[in-house]
A and B are shown apart, each in its own frame.
Chain A
Amino acid sequence: MIELTDDICALAKDVPSPGEKFYPVFEPTPELAAEAHGYVTMYPEGREQSAVLPIIHMVQEKFGFISARSIPWIAEMCKSTPIHVAGIVSFYPGIRRKCPGKWHIRVCHTIACAMSGGEDLLKFICGKIGVKPEEMTEAEPMAVSADGLWSIEAVECLAHCGFGPNVMVNDTLYSQVTPEKIDEVLEDYRRRD
């Protein structure tokens, strides 16, 4: 039968992640479908497929990541096919196929941030949240801490190059981050529990 190579598995199976306990499991409900339909109506008639990114963002915000089960649902919502949605999901780095931690840290390591210490900062944060930098690979750029509280990912340019190194925690950007500063920031998030 089908030899499940890594590429195929990446589509078919969800990679387990300790972050899952902080997010609900994807469940298609009429409410969810109604919300998805709202995105579809944003676009001109007959262009349902345009809503694929908004719907993906919605699913990712609610459930943390795009699970294998959600792909056919998304396809149905925007009148597309699962393989088409899988093609989109696997293309964009901003769309996750693995559940992140409760707090998702993105560290920029593109040229300007790298010059101001982004690479070292990445290693520093890894140490802080208890993941090994080697866990971040090209195939799986995001590493999740064992307690599921944190996930970390090195990302390309966050467009704030004059004020590097830049770090995003969930939706918030922190600039000119030093180890001391990130210590405080992470501590602050930890206290929010």
Chain B
Amino acid sequence: MSEITYKPGHEPHPRETRRIFRNIDRVGYTPSIESFLEDGGYEALKKALAMEPAAVIDEVKKSGLRGRGGAGFPTGVKWTFIPRGNTKPVYLVCNCDESEPGTFKDRFIVHQDPHQLIEGMVIACYAVQAHYAIIYMREEFPEAAKIVREALEEAEKNGFVGKNIQGTGYDLKIILHRGAGAYICGEETGLINSIEGVRPYPRIKPPFFPAAIGLYGCPTIVNNVESLCQVRQVLLRGGEAYASEGAQRSPGTRIIGVSGDVKKPGYYEIISGSITYGELLYDLCGGPKEGRKFKAIIPGGASAKVMRCDEVLTGRNPDGSVRKMSIFGVPMDLDSIAAHGSMSGSGGVIVMDDSRSMPEMLRNLNRFFAWESCGQCTPCREGNPWMLKLSTRICEGKASPEDVDLLKSVADNICGRTVCAFGEACSWPVQAFTTKFREEFLALTKPINAFKPHNPESAEARKYMTRED
């Protein structure tokens, strides 16, 4: 294998293992099929096409590959949810609606190495015997849309997509469907509704998986971009070899996106579980900015619960003994952080140092979720604007201490009562911020504010107030 050189500033850290991101920001690498073929592209597909579809599924199941969209559901298992004896067409949808704040991995794949995704998709489609697949791409990637369309044409010319792929008689049509800027389309059933051309409201569960009833009422597999690229890696390395690498329950590499207050934010591809959060932030990312200390970490995209850096966590050593540690001691696999009440989600790590106001951070997230709520179901539609109004009032110094409890209570009332996981996504940050940084919230409040009017209608009452402090 030839020596790979990367663009300055994008060289991998020695502890990184670039597989999916092998060709990202690589000098001389273009999104064209030539670059990809030179790098051994479409070999995994040829391997897959020589196998029975069921054998491909088995291979992926064996690999223990888990979805990289955030929920971490085993990909191979998802594929087996297509009902037995199904006679309807099977669809495969690639979820490229990357919009979880803090997550920025799929963007690089579709912009710089689209054939990797296409190859992974064709393998997945072959495995589930889908003959029609859709890449759902968010609207904010207009250039990627052009790049992927060209890549699809190239792939078709080279016989990797289209009719009679590689002479096997297997047909597959892949189209690109662009979203229009809605976070909720990242929810797989919202995404399916968006493709169907209706308002992208997430569908009620059950059915819990669109693999049973999905697009146009047919079995539909929805996989994240990175997951599909990982499928290619599984085929290249073999299921067992893949499973043997990294954390036992979440093998393979993970792409971590670090943003916020670190010296060197950016993307890092690591073997799952091979490093801890501390190593990531101090070693790979170069530690906090000059003169600053880390205060908080959101470990898995904006909807994950925030972790305090000085929080004492109880972990277990390999021999089963209990040990005290901080978030910095938690390994970066899919499950470890979940044991401490947060989640590693889609791998977006947002770091905040001691210069940050946590109420302001929460207000920003509340605004995001209030803006992105689809408004289908009551708690989320009505609760998010309420939480935004409360956190805004707290930040503006117009809230009373009770409002902090009210804010948390509103979040509690949303959580677990909505159609889709957005209810959790919007309420977890509020629950975690207000609980873990309660003192910061309370510091901004004044008891007298409880008696002041908070809306134009009750502003009339202001004239009866004699105290202003």
Residue of B with least CB distance to A51: B197
Q: Within 8 Å of chain A (Cβ to Cβ): is B200?
A: yes
Contact B178 A54 (CB under 8 A): yes
Contact A110 B368 (CB under 8 A): yes
In the complex, what distance in Å separates the CA atom of A115 from the CA atom of B258? 13
Binding stretch for chain A, among B40-48, B138-146, B161-169: B138-146
In the complex, what distance in Å separates the CA atom of A54 from the CA atom of B145? 12
In the complex, what distance in Å separates the CA atom of A88 from the CA atom of B180? 10
Contact B178 A111 (CB under 8 A): no
User: Digit string of B250-273 for contact with A (CB within 8 Å is 1, else 0)?
Assistant: 000000011111000111000000
Secondary structure at the A interface, as helix, strand, loop or mixed, is mixed
Contact A159 B132 (CB under 8 A): no
Residues of A25-64 whose CB lies within 8 A of B: 42-44, 47, 49-54, 56-57
Q: Which of A50, A94, A173 contacts B196 (CB 8 A)?
A: A50
Residue of A with least CB distance to B375: A91
Interface residues on B, range: 35 or more
A141 CB → nearest B CB, Å: 9
**Given A88-B197, A164-B259, CB of A111 within 8 Å of CB of B350:** yes
Contact B99 A157 (CB under 8 A): yes
Contact B182 A53 (CB under 8 A): no
Q: Within 8 Å of chain B (Cβ to Cβ): is A189?
A: no
Contact A44 B216 (CB under 8 A): yes
Q: Within 8 Å of chain A (Cβ to Cβ): is B199?
A: yes
**Given A111-B365, A112-B350, CB of A162 within 8 Å of CB of B104:** yes
Q: Which of B103, B138, B216 contacts A161 (CB 8 A)?
A: B103
Q: Within 8 Å of chain A (Cβ to Cβ): is B372?
A: yes
User: For A91, what are the chain B residues with a Cβ–Cβ distance below 8 Å?
Assistant: 182, 199-200, 374
Q: Which of B100, B106, B194 contacts A53 (CB 8 A)?
A: B194
Contact B179 A94 (CB under 8 A): yes
User: Digit string of B130-167 for contact with A (CB within 8 Å is 1, else 0)?
Assistant: 00100000111111000000000000000000000000
In the complex, what distance in Å separates the CA atom of A119 from the CA atom of B107? 23
User: For A160, what are the chain B residues with a Cβ–Cβ distance below 8 Å?
Assistant: 104, 107
Q: Within 8 Å of chain B (Cβ to Cβ): is A193?
A: no
Residues of A109-129 whose CB lies within 8 A of B: 109-112, 114-116
Interface residues on A, range: 35 or more
Q: Which of A57, A159, A164 contacts B140 (CB 8 A)?
A: A159
User: Digit string of A152-192 for contact with B (CB within 8 Å is 1, else 0)?
Assistant: 00011111111110001001110000000000000000000
Contact A163 B266 (CB under 8 A): yes
Residue of B with least CB distance to A93: B181
User: For A111, what are the chain B residues with a Cβ–Cβ distance below 8 Å?
Assistant: 101-102, 260, 302, 350, 361, 364-365, 368
User: For B265, what are the chain A residues with a Cβ–Cβ distance below 8 Å?
Assistant: 161-163
Residue of A with least CB distance to B356: A115
Max count, chain B CB within 10 A of own CB: residue among A42, A50, A157, A168: A157
In the complex, what distance in Å separates the CA atom of A158 from the CA atom of B102? 10
Residue of A with least CB distance to B262: A162
Q: Within 8 Å of chain A (Cβ to Cβ): is B371?
A: yes
B376 CB → nearest A CB, Å: 11
Contact A49 B196 (CB under 8 A): yes
In the complex, what distance in Å separates the CA atom of A106 from the CA atom of B181? 12
B340 CB → nearest A CB, Å: 21
Max count, chain B CB within 10 A of own CB: residue among A50, A88, A92, A159: A159
In the complex, what distance in Å separates the CA atom of A54 from the CA atom of B367? 28
Q: Within 8 Å of chain A (Cβ to Cβ): is B204?
A: no
Contact A52 B107 (CB under 8 A): no
Max count, chain A CB within 10 A of own CB: residue among B180, B257, B368: B180
In the complex, what distance in Å separates the CA atom of A163 from the CA atom of B374? 28
Residue of B with least CB distance to A112: B259
Contact A162 B258 (CB under 8 A): yes
**Given A92-B182, A156-B371, A161-B348, CB of A53 within 8 Å of CB of B177:** yes
Q: Within 8 Å of chain A (Cβ to Cβ): is B448?
A: no
Contact B181 A115 (CB under 8 A): no
Q: Within 8 Å of chain B (Cβ to Cβ): is A68?
A: no
Q: Which of A78, A106, A158, A162 contacts B197 (CB 8 A)?
A: A78
Contact A115 B352 (CB under 8 A): yes
In the complex, what distance in Å separates the CA atom of A94 from the CA atom of B181? 5
Q: Within 8 Å of chain B (Cβ to Cβ): is A95?
A: yes
Max count, chain B CB within 10 A of own CB: residue among A49, A57, A109: A57
User: Digit string of A130-166 for contact with B (CB within 8 Å is 1, else 0)?
Assistant: 0000000000000000000000000111111111100
Contact B100 A157 (CB under 8 A): yes
Residue of A with least CB distance to B183: A156
In the complex, what distance in Å separates the CA atom of A184 from the CA atom of B387? 39
Residues of B343-381 whose CB lies within 8 A of A: 348, 350, 352, 356, 361, 364-365, 368, 371-372, 374
User: For A52, what are the chain B residues with a Cβ–Cβ distance below 8 Å?
Assistant: 197
A160 CB → nearest B CB, Å: 5
Residue of B with least CB distance to A42: B175
B262 CB → nearest A CB, Å: 9
In the complex, what distance in Å separates the CA atom of A42 from the CA atom of B104? 29
B387 CB → nearest A CB, Å: 15
In the complex, what distance in Å separates the CA atom of A44 from the CA atom of B140? 26
Q: Could you list 19 further interchain pairs (A-B, Cβ under 8 angstroms) beyond the known A111-B260, A161-B102, A162-B104?
A: A42-B175, A44-B89, A47-B216, A50-B177, A54-B177, A93-B371, A94-B140, A94-B181, A94-B182, A111-B364, A111-B368, A112-B101, A115-B259, A115-B356, A155-B140, A156-B101, A157-B302, A159-B99, A161-B348
What are 5 sample pairs from A and B whose C-beta atoms fall under 8 A apart? A94-B179, A111-B101, A159-B138, A164-B259, A168-B140
The 7 tightest CB contacts between A and B, nearest first, are: A94-B181, A92-B180, A49-B197, A94-B180, A161-B259, A112-B259, A94-B139
List chain B positions with a Cβ less than 8 A from chain A: 89, 98-104, 106-107, 132, 138-143, 175, 177-183, 194-200, 216, 257-261, 265-267, 302, 348, 350, 352, 356, 361, 364-365, 368, 371-372, 374
